[in-house]
Amino acid sequence: MGGALSLLAVNFVIAQIFAAAFLVIAAKRRPGRPAAWCAAGFAIASLAAICEAVLPFTPVPKLFAVGAFASVLAGFCLLRFGLGLFYGVPSKPWALAAFFAASVILDLFIYDLPRGTLRHAFFYQAPFFLIQAWTAAAVIRSRRRSYADWILIGFLAMNALHFLVKIYAAVAAGAGATASDYLQSPFALISQAFGAALIVGTGVAMLGVMVKDIVDKARASSETDALSGLLNRRGFIERVAPLLPTRNAEGPGALILTDLDRFKGVNDTYGHHTGDEVIRQFARVLLELMPSRAAAARLGGEEFAVFLPGVGLSDARVVAQGMRAATASTPIPGLPETATITASFGVAAIEPGEPLETALQRADKALYAAKAAGRNRVESAEPSARVVTPAVSQWIKRKL
């Protein structure tokens, strides 16, 4: 009994640690409801350890035996609800409540069946298997496929299978003649030992996916312009630079650099609130007209950039002309109907091996030419005078 009691104590402490960890995440994450539900799940499930520890000493063992069953199952249901919220595959509360109630009634019904028999073990472990499989299925249905998500799916699947294995273990090792004998049975040591390992593994995997989500959102926030919703300069460079070495018949792609015409006058005449709306509407035009694999950014103020991967100069000009026309015809809340917003565009085809910064400079010269020629027009950049690829650079060094 001493070994089983020790493992019960370990499982209780582990569950409390995870409950506290998820509460910390709930306080840091916005929204924090998924983590809060997971914290409640670990806290409720840990009550089973208290119920099982009391079993050998209480005159009402049925109350605590059913309480242990209900605590673990309720904890698993709360975890299913929390992970469902996190992964965007929520379960209906009434469905979980109905499942929980039916499972507890089933446990009451089988309570007097002989322990250590296949019939008792199957009906006792089946609800735990089902709720774990249900939770794993929810994560799979979300279609999130990072390494952290796959690890969590693996642990949830192992949890589900572990309850099927416990059916055989309860029969083979013996689970005690009565509920009060559970802690003295060999099955108790097996059950608690495997349970502790899987609690740790699953808890760490759940923490991993939620912490990764916090980090990913923080990184996305640092790379996104809050007003337009587009990438900022840093995000644009980090997104586009790795794509330039990609081989394509049309070259790495093309850059469109664009600037809203006389934007300062809009702010001075109609106010910064209207100016902000102009920025948002222009960003919407860029997003709607650029190809799906393209990247758009607000580089600062009223200056924007669009990267078109695998697109040549002529096609990039067509896209820019479409953006120019759409901008001039887009109504802006806060502006009179007679007021028109226009933009100038500079387009540059990126040469193979050309650094992004160099291509941006060429596109900027073309944009300046568009503004100098009267604004609300598209100009193309001259080809790069000399782009030295890494291979050619190494050849020149050897010759020198």
Residue 258 has pLDDT above 90, yes or no: yes
pLDDT at res. 189: 59
> Which residues lie below 8 Å from residue 115, measured CB to CB, with a gap of 6+?
170, 175, 176, 177, 178, 179, 181, 182
**Mean pLDDT across the stretch 32-37?**
89
Neighbours of 261 (CB within 10 A): 21
Tens digit of pLDDT for each residue in 371-382?
A: 999 999 999 998
Please pick, among 52, 277, 302, 379, the residue that the annotation labels catalytic.
302
Query: Above pLDDT 90, what percent of the chain?
Result: 54
Spatial contact of 294 and 229, defined as CB atoms under 8 Å apart:
no
Poorest-confidence range of 29-38, 61-70, 154-163? 29-38
Alpha carbon distance 190, 171 (integer Å): 12
Residue 311 has pLDDT above 80, yes or no: yes
Query: Above pLDDT 70, what percent of the chain?
Result: 87
pLDDT at res. 336: 85
Tens digit of pLDDT for each residue in 226-243?
A: 899 999 998 999 889 888
Answer yes or no: pTM beyond 0.95.
no
Please provide the size of the chain in residues.
400
250 is a catalytic site residue = no
DSSP 8-state secondary structure symbol assigned to residue 338: T
Which ranges of the chain does DSSP label H, i.e. alpha helix?
2-28, 33-54, 61-87, 93-110, 118-141, 147-173, 186-222, 233-240, 263-270, 272-289, 313-328, 356-372, 390-399
Tokens of 266: 């809009």
Tens digit of pLDDT for each residue in 84-140?
A: 999 999 999 999 999 999 999 999 999 888 877 888 889 999 999 999 999 999 999
Residue 55 has pLDDT above 90, yes or no: no
DSSP 8-state secondary structure symbol assigned to residue 300: E
Between residues 390 and 162, the one the model is more confident about = 162
Residue the block writes with tokens 């020198």: 400
**Mean pLDDT across the stretch 353-358?**
89
Spatial contact of 258 and 320, defined as CB atoms under 8 Å apart:
yes
Please, what sign has the CA dihedral across residues 16, 18, 20, 22? Answer: negative
pLDDT at res. 188: 61
Residue 271 has pLDDT above 60, yes or no: yes
Alpha carbon distance 359, 348 (integer Å): 7
pLDDT at res. 250: 62
Alpha carbon distance 185, 307 (integer Å): 67
